[in-house]
Structure 1
């Protein structure tokens, strides 16, 4: 691995900045976080991704000091943070609502926490100006929050959160209130700021695209447990379970049984025939598996391909998304398989339409064999 690749989690000598050790959080009979262990490293942009109610915000609130673990411990830079009150932790939290003071100017909102800290009064104006410059809002310093746009309010909240130079910044669904285009622009701004400052960011989101864009690593959570932690490309290309494969992006999941297997190749019998694939390891005959293949790795054609895995069907639905089209193809077994094609040509020259008979195909290495 080259020296410029940021991957401290691959270095056994690297000490995590944040460590959750067998952390459980219960609210009465409900277990929000279930015996969870997790390491986060300095300068990481770490994403907690999951559906509503999976425990991701509870995990963040425990780190911030707004909740206490029922069991286990949380350390920050090697120190158990349980006895440290929320306002004394080197952690700041940026809320989804931004929580700006409406009666204060942009500059005064950013200065609010600094005036209550041990920073000398003579340094506060300079720090506020530095933060305004970082989020490109100097010309709006005297305006009130209602006089600026949603995206600008989001940047004020970010500047205020970073003004005290916390070791860790926690972002709870920070871009949820923005429209799609502004959200995408702001994601890159967040990444640039995080890289420039070197602060460890931890973001909670249910938006897969957002997590995949900004994060160095993504943890997929479900029912209080982490199902997989990996880099965005590994989570997408090598999910460790049907749940993760299905939660991240679009996927075709085909149930079948192993009929033969070596370390490098296996045959899977399913309703529509036989699939040849690469198994994670040699699998026993009759092992029940799920074959996962992403729609963009499935080709669609009018004639049967000469090699690879192939299945015939008819076009049931077409989702036109501008840059790509997704074809929903019903096979003879009744299963629907999705194939995606880049719209390199104009729509009027589309090769397939509704009810057309087509062949779907993919290579032996296009999908992944899942045993969970």
Structure 2
């Protein structure tokens, strides 16, 4: 979100557009959604993120009216959705398959739903042109879907879903069919369109990078439950569990015992004869319990010589190097057998970098670079 002030979830007086209260969904004895409470606010770009089978699509389908709630309630703009069919909700859904009519032109695809709505016929042409401008497809109005690229079809489907000005747009893995580069470009287009229209977007994705890029907030799901609901930076920097730390981005996890907790700092004993690791204390962490230290590879410095004045410092051997163009990832095997990943930006030419396979190196990080979480 471009607007740094946009954080209605922090305002107790803000009224949510969507509210899930104690929502459960059972299929026979299987619980797909387990007692979920969640508020989503107007103009949010909200992401439901999790692995296959975690319940994110079921949650979205209940919101759209395609699945019924077993227990609890869903309200949209203060109205209880129980018994209200999909076509009577101020909601539209964009599917992964795009579901365009192959025999109709782009313009006619956009006009199709409007002709069946209560919009005056005289306004339909203007609305179609407005939608074509929004998704930058004015020149393609007369083409049929088979004459379009994957990215263009995706934009037609988006324009069609927004044509009736729904309060809420549901997007089910909308960019899944696009190649990586096009997907990244389209993510920014989606954000731009969402901001221009002011429509609330709820996107289902299993792609962490996509959720981190587009969303104002992310709900990380597992086994039908919400594990953490927060802004992308908080989810990345302050995960509330090992599951979230491990699911979002790249991370090193070192297990051990919590030897000390002091306010926002904690220590983890992890290997006999080695100093305890210092880190930020995570939620629910207690002295004497088992814990795990989570640190991102880019927060770890790698050097030939032992750094001075750094508490968190371990020695190992470079076992592998992944060169990714803009950065290199070093896989370093420690004395106790642990494998740690450290990342460095490739700001210099290859010949001047100097670290290679089998080199003995030191890894170090600051006392606030990683977080100690309960296990």
TM-score by length of 1: 0.97
**Contact 2:282–2:374 (Cα < 8 Å) also in 1:** no
| 1:201-212 equivalent positions in 2, closer than 5 A | 201-212=201-212
Once superposed, which parts of structure 1, at least 4 consecutive aligned residues long, lie more than 6 Å away? none
Which ranges of structure 2 fall in alignment gaps of 5 or more residues? none
Residue equivalent to 1:303: 305
1:308 Cα offset (Å):
2.8
Matched, 1:347 2:359: no
Residue equivalent to 1:232: 232
**Contact 1:263–1:281 (Cα < 8 Å) also in 2:** no
The 1:322–1:352 alpha-carbon spacing in structure 2 relative to 1, beyond 3 Å, is: same
Instruction: Give the number of aligned pairs.
Output: 370
The 1:43–1:282 alpha-carbon spacing in structure 2 relative to 1, beyond 3 Å, is: closer
SS in 2 for 1:345: coil
| 1:260-275 equivalent positions in 2, closer than 5 A | 260-271=260-271, 273=274, 274-275=276-277
Residue equivalent to 1:293: 295
Q: Report which stretch shifted further, 341-350 or 114-123.
A: 341-350
Distance 1:97 1:281 in 2: 40
TM-score by length of 2: 0.96
The 1:264–1:53 alpha-carbon spacing in structure 2 relative to 1, beyond 3 Å, is: closer
Distance 1:317 1:4 in 2: 40
1:281 Cα offset (Å):
7.3
The 1:314–1:93 alpha-carbon spacing in structure 2 relative to 1, beyond 3 Å, is: same
| 1:47-66 equivalent positions in 2, closer than 5 A | 47-66=47-66
Q: Deviations over 1:313-342 (max 9, x none)?
A: 001111111101111100011010110000
Picking from 264, 279, 302, the partner of 1:277 is 279
Residue equivalent to 2:88: 88
1:241 Cα offset (Å):
0.1
Distance 2:39 2:4 in 1: 21
| 1:212-223 equivalent positions in 2, closer than 5 A | 212-223=212-223
1:63 Cα offset (Å):
0.6
**Contact 1:264–1:281 (Cα < 8 Å) also in 2:** no
Distance 2:286 2:134 in 1: 57
Q: Deviations over 1:45-102 (max 9, x none)?
A: 0000000111000100001111001111100011101121111110000000100010
SS in 1 for 2:342: strand
Which ranges of structure 1 fall in alignment gaps of 5 or more residues? none
Distance 1:61 1:309 in 2: 47
Distance 2:259 2:126 in 1: 69
SS in 1 for 2:267: strand
**Contact 1:261–1:282 (Cα < 8 Å) also in 2:** no
1:261 Cα offset (Å):
2.8
Q: Report which stretch shifted further, 279-288 or 315-324.
A: 279-288
The 1:4–1:253 alpha-carbon spacing in structure 2 relative to 1, beyond 3 Å, is: closer
